[in-house]
Amino acid sequence: MLSLQGRALQIAIAVSAGSAYLLFGYDQGVLGGLVSYPGFLSAIGNPSSGYLGTIVALFNIGCLIGCVISAFFGNRLGRKNAITLGCVIMVIGGAVQASTYSAGQLIAGRIISGIGNGINTSTVPVYVSETSRTAVRGRSLAIQMSIVIFGTVVAYWLDYGMIRTQIGEVVWRFPLAFQNFFALITIITMPVLPESPRWLYSHGRQREAICVLSSLLAVSEDHSDVCTVVAEMEQALSVEQNNKKKLSISNLLFEKTEMKYARRLTLCFVVQLFQQFTGINVIAFYVTIVLETNVGLSPDLSSLVAGFIQIAFWVGTFPPIFLIDRLGRRKVLMLGSTMLCLTMVLFTVGIALKTPATSRLALGMLIIYEISFGMSWNAVPWLYAPEITPLNIRHVGAAVGCFSEWLWTFVIAQMTPAAIANTGWKIYLLFCLMTALSIPFVYFFMPETSGKSLEEIDYIFVKHRAQSNELQDTTHFSYKLGMENSEGQLAQIERV
């Protein structure tokens, strides 16, 4: 393991995990710029537009499979091993895609890559959350999601540059092969990084967990900050173990215990559903079609404008890095939904009237929409699932959230071309309505999690708070007696 501590160690974790997430964004976007290139289409047998859409969308089915694998086996593997496994699978999938000579081979490669990506997207948010300080946990995930969108930008502009400067099979084989570069960075760096201290502690490796906490916080093992986190983990495990016998699939969904697993998992699923029904993947996957069909731009201008819209999306991911922990998750989402609803309504009006002036309005609203999404719904749903699920099912909560993401991504990717062709501007009314509904959903059903440790968030959901807090006080007191540092004072645990 690297002998890094504090900020240097956090940066190393961010780079390794970020490379896996950059691959996430890159792999989502790489085919988008190639599906109109004649040489690529010829290599896979010139499929019909419907068949080609299915080939692109089958990546999401692979992601769904990866989420299921992560839900069942992620806790046994550990956070590091799961991420490494996901990247190894993605390398195999990338090699299959880059060497493809048929539609069937491309489909196989996309599904294989999707499986690896599903494992990664279920695990990276958990790993980053569990190795981050409470005060900057949101910022850490916001940085990762900014990297995802940067990956999409890299993929789009690499495709664009290769198509316009190169000839032959290298035009499409190189972008498909280049995705493996990012996976290899994670595969090489992940083994030398520490495992999540929460995972170590929950698997009986308390001494290692304390050592990792000491390195992450850059303090001694008996420091008050370490003692506080250890006390919180011990308390969380005590509460969770009282409900351990209830962790069957049916009881996770229908249980009535104080831990409220079903409510938490439902929130993990629904928050990602609302993210997808803002309409973001209509714009992300089919932006050139939207610009040509709805806005009225020429094909060449649509391709160029689409590239700058992707950059606008990426720029929008910067403000959450600084605001998500200060404003809180709820405010960021509700403000984002307000802006998204307003811009989507004006965009819909613009393309419905279809005059030169309203087309320009629609284009402007599209850019503001992308920035607004990047500032709000892009990052928070990925952070929220690992935050609100307790340690013993955190891998399940993250997988459920990702499963919802990929399920609705697949549905939207499949329905959008036909919907745009058959309904025109009317399909966007669905996204206006769903975005508006997301505001009361966040207000009434999503509790605030910023500023609380992962263990403290349990007490938002625990039914019998008084009993649980009493147990927490007892545990905290025992650790205070046994591990009090030279200053003789432990940091107080915030009561929720």
Query: How buried is 48 (Cβ within 10 angstroms: 0-12 exposed, 13-18 middle, 19+ buried)?
Result: exposed
Q: What is the mean pLDDT of residues 429-455?
A: 92
- The CA distance from 96 to 113, in Å, is 9
Residue 422's CB is within 10 A of a number of other CB atoms, namely 9
- The CA distance from 417 to 286, in Å, is 8
Q: Helices (DSSP H) in 99-248: which residue ranges?
A: 103-130, 137-165, 170-189, 197-202, 206-217, 224-241
**pLDDT at res. 465:** 46
Does residue 384 register a pLDDT over 80? Answer: yes
Write the DSSP symbol of residue 298.
-
pLDDT per position as a tens digit, 111-122: 999 999 999 999
pLDDT per position as a tens digit, 204-217: 899 999 999 999 98
Lowest mean pLDDT among 45-59, 181-195, 259-273, 319-333: 45-59
- The CA distance from 345 to 326, in Å, is 29
Does residue 447 register a pLDDT over 60? Answer: yes
443 within 8 A of 330, measured Cβ to Cβ:
yes
Percent of the chain with pLDDT over 90: 44
**pLDDT at res. 330:** 94
215 within 8 A of 194, measured Cβ to Cβ:
yes
- Reported as a pLDDT band with limits 50, 70 and 90, residue 53 is confident
- The CA distance from 194 to 32, in Å, is 36
433 within 8 A of 302, measured Cβ to Cβ:
no
- The CA distance from 8 to 43, in Å, is 46
**pLDDT at res. 471:** 39
Spatial neighbors of 219 by CB under 8 A, at least 6 apart, are 225, 226
Give the CATH number of domain 248-465.
1.20.1250.20
Residue 213: which of 136, 130, 138 has the closest Cα? 130
Spatial neighbors of 346 by CB under 8 A, at least 6 apart, are 361, 362, 365
pLDDT per position as a tens digit, 214-266: 999 889 888 888 888 888 888 777 766 665 555 555 555 556 666 678 888 89
Spatial neighbors of 187 by CB under 8 A, at least 6 apart, are 84, 87, 88, 91
Percent of the chain with pLDDT over 70: 88
**pLDDT at res. 94:** 94
Does residue 381 register a pLDDT over 50? Answer: yes
- The class level of CATH for 1-197 reads mainly alpha
226 within 8 A of 213, measured Cβ to Cβ:
yes
Lowest mean pLDDT among 194-198, 258-262, 427-431: 258-262
**pLDDT at res. 494:** 33
**pLDDT at res. 299:** 77
**pLDDT at res. 256:** 61
Residue 321's CB is within 10 A of a number of other CB atoms, namely 18
470 against 285, higher pLDDT: 285
CATH 1.20.1250.20 domain range(s) in the chain = 1-197, 248-465
**pLDDT at res. 466:** 40
- The CA distance from 168 to 222, in Å, is 62
**pLDDT at res. 419:** 82
Does residue 358 register a pLDDT over 50? Answer: yes
- The CA distance from 163 to 449, in Å, is 45
**pLDDT at res. 482:** 40
Q: What is the mean pLDDT of residues 365-380?
A: 93
**pLDDT at res. 480:** 41
**pLDDT at res. 233:** 83
Lowest mean pLDDT among 209-213, 244-248, 297-301, 481-485: 481-485
Site of tokens 């000839």:
167
Site of tokens 């802006």:
339
pTM, 2 dp:
0.82
Measure CA of the first residue to CA of the last residue in the chain; give whole Å: 36
In 3-state terms, what secondary structure has residue 241?
A: helix
**pLDDT at res. 254:** 59
Mean pLDDT of the chain: 84
**pLDDT at res. 413:** 77
Using alpha carbons, list the distances in angstroms from residue 12 to 15, 191, 216: 5, 12, 11
